[in-house]
Structure 1
């Protein structure tokens, strides 16, 4: 149902955009044909003001402003007719219609754009609230990690394919945290995430298990030896990226890695694999 609504909103947004462009093109042609440069320029700026009201204050204030604008034009025409100072500029009468049509099409376009953005925001919020998606790094979190281990373990049982996890942390993070600014902390989190993504295979899945004591995990169909080779590449890439960063290069920042493979004879739950990987980080010296 949500997908259908998104498609409808997207279609209406496109229709609104096409109508808006068409009406503006027609306005430009009518301005050229009417010949009154001064009034055309004044009315054009008034129209732009009406469009800004539509965009920032919604359709009701816009309609009220458009009615006032039409009334002002009518007063000008009546005054010219009564005083006989000039002919009624009938060629400019399109300005009574075009601004309100432009406002309606702009509202149609922006309303559906806002609806799409709201739908995307609600989906993103739902994922975050469920704990399956980290907003800052765009990585899966512990909830998704535990669920995926169950799937990987079943594959291991049925097809005897090795399943291994690598747990990655920052060495002496608590000490570093006291010396780093908030911006440096955010930078380190992003740099580590990017370094891991750069060196992992497309079929390896990366997770962020902990934000407070940054802990990443990689889940892959490989044995401990293959995971060791992969994490060595990640360590090398991370070290190069840290040295190349002016804000972090002066600090002694390094990774620690723990590797554990799924063993159906000793491991009964997904947490067993995760805890085994975390335990192995203690021995990475």
Structure 2
């Protein structure tokens, strides 16, 4: 994992370096175009350079290098012909177009190559999390696997520093009955709206999980007591009700949350499942 992090940092750095070089070269090109003053040829060469950059972006470095060599050869042939035939004055001041395009192409390739490497690394990490069951792809929330692991960490913090640890379990009241009356799109919308409402009202150090997607059950781990968790879940309920009323597709239905709150008690709770089950049990009393 540490090796992957180092690779990602290196790719990110090289991407930034490539971007800076690319912008610097384009700035230098603009200055040289202004100084040389041959508007027609500068515009033609600029257009050719843009085409070379598109080849680099879409087809890779090898076709780009071949195209750049062809472009250099064409410029050289034109200059040699003008020199031999003496039909026109050779624009030596435009010779920078022989090297600038290839440098721009190399900078662009470096930038995009490292960007693709970062995207691939992020995709692999996402896939690994999904395969481990620790990450829900649809809601971007952690799942029961991560929840159980994190409770153990929170419980150890409670033991060592005597910081209160509480979980809030959130469900949709009468969800199974609602699902029979809702279309698949409405059901999906309700899950997203609930997830967004929870994220919207939680603090950055409060972690949200999706424990069950069939009978949607969310959980939050908080460093607070029952009273603090009650205040937090009241904010979530208010935000949820407001969002439901504002949604044309869901506002006509009687949709509400039920919440169960349980605090970690080291004298009666021995495993992370004890806290989770206690929170789920408490949802039965939210009327």
TM-score between the two structures when normalised by the length of structure 2 = 0.85
Partner of 2:134: 132
Partners in 2 of 1:91 and 1:160 — Cα distance?
75
Give the Cα–Cα distance (whole angstroms) in 2 for the partners of residues 29 and 224 of structure 1: 66
C-alpha separation in 1, matches of 2:176 and 2:50: 55
The aligned residue for residue 107 of structure 2 is 105
- Runs ≥4 residues deviating over 6 A: none
In structure 1, distance between residues paired with 2:23 and 2:235: 52
Q: What pairs with 1:190-201 in structure 2 (closer than 5 Å)?
A: 190-201=192-203
Q: 2 CA distance for matches of 1:5 and 1:66?
A: 30
* Whole-Å separation in 2 of the counterparts to 1:169 and 1:39: 68
Segments of structure 1 that go 5 or more residues without pairing to the other structure are none
CA 1:76–1:216: 2 relative to 1, 3 Å: same
Number of residue-to-residue matches in the alignment: 285
SS of corresponding position for 1:268? coil
- State the 1:182 CA deviation: 4.4
Shift, 1:197, TM fit: 3.1
Q: Secondary structure at the match of 1:251?
A: coil
**Distance apart, 1:153 and its partner CA:** 3.5
Which residue does the alignment assign to 1:185?
Answer: 187
Relative distance call for 1:31 and 1:154 in structure 2 (3 A) is closer
Structure 2 CA distance for aligned equivalents of residues 157 and 170 of structure 1: 33
Aligned to 1:253: 255
> After superposition, where does 1:128-277 map in structure 2 within 5 Å?
128-156=130-158, 162-264=164-266, 266-277=268-279
Give, in whole Å, the separation in 1 of the partners of 2:95 and 2:159: 78
Q: Structure 1 pair 54/179, CA: closer, same or farther in 2 (3 Å)?
A: farther
Is 242-251 or 73-82 further displaced after alignment? 73-82
What's the counterpart of residue 10 of structure 2?
8
Q: List alignment gaps of at least 5 residues for structure 2.
A: none
Structure 1 residue 53: Cα displacement: 0.7
Tell me the distance in 1 between the aligned counterparts of 2:50 and 2:161.
Answer: 66
- Give deviations 1:220-250, integer Å, cap 9, x for gaps: 3445455444433322221122112223212
User: TM-score, normalization: structure 1?
Assistant: 0.86
Q: 2:5 aligned with 1:37, yes or no?
A: no
Cα pair distance change 1:148/1:24, threshold 3 Å: closer
